Amino acid sequence: MKLGVCGGRTGKVLIRAARVLDSVRAACGSESLEIGHGTAPGYDQAADAWAGVHKLPCTRIPVNNALDGDEDDAPKRRNRRILMWLLDTRQEAALLAFPGGPGSRDMAQIAHDAGVTVFDVEIDGDEFFVWTWPHRDERGKVAKLLCSGTF
């Protein structure tokens, strides 16, 4: 399974990311994961470290000025390349969206719009909840709880 990761750049991300990734991996029943992210500080780099500890492949898709430009919206253009990485597969693919800013929200929305499963992480104090967004053809449906836990 390919698992893209996006999220903010601040907070206690290393411990939180590892705990959430462990829970998502168990909930998906997938021992073989390939992590992909945009290399930003925060959740991207925490997911990279987690993949290294678990000896899982990790694809890094940083902003590339030649492809994405160097303006403020370059990360959003890079998000389209992360989406292409998720879609270019015969494996199941999902996006794990940690709390973040406009770039993270953009990544989650474009993945959802393209039919990629989005796992949305909600953090409430020392607890976390991972919700699966309804697929685009499930209008009127609500998010389903994939897993939850504590830090």
pLDDT digits (tens, 9 = 90+) for 7-55: 998 767 788 999 999 999 999 988 889 999 999 999 999 999 999 999 9
What's the pLDDT at 51? 97
Kindly report the number of other CB atoms within 10 A of residue 58's CB atom.
17
Instruction: Report how many helices (DSSP H) and strands (DSSP E) the chain contains, helices first.
Output: 5, 7
- Among left, alpha and beta (phi > 0; psi -120 to 50; other), residue 29 is left
The pTM assigned to this predicted structure is 0.93
CATH 3.40.50.10770 fits 2-150, yes or no: yes
Give yes or no for residue 127 having a pLDDT over 90. yes
Sorting pLDDT into bands at 50, 70 and 90, what band is 136? Answer: low
Q: Summarize pLDDT for 56-72 with one digit per residue, the tens.
A: 999 999 999 889 888 88
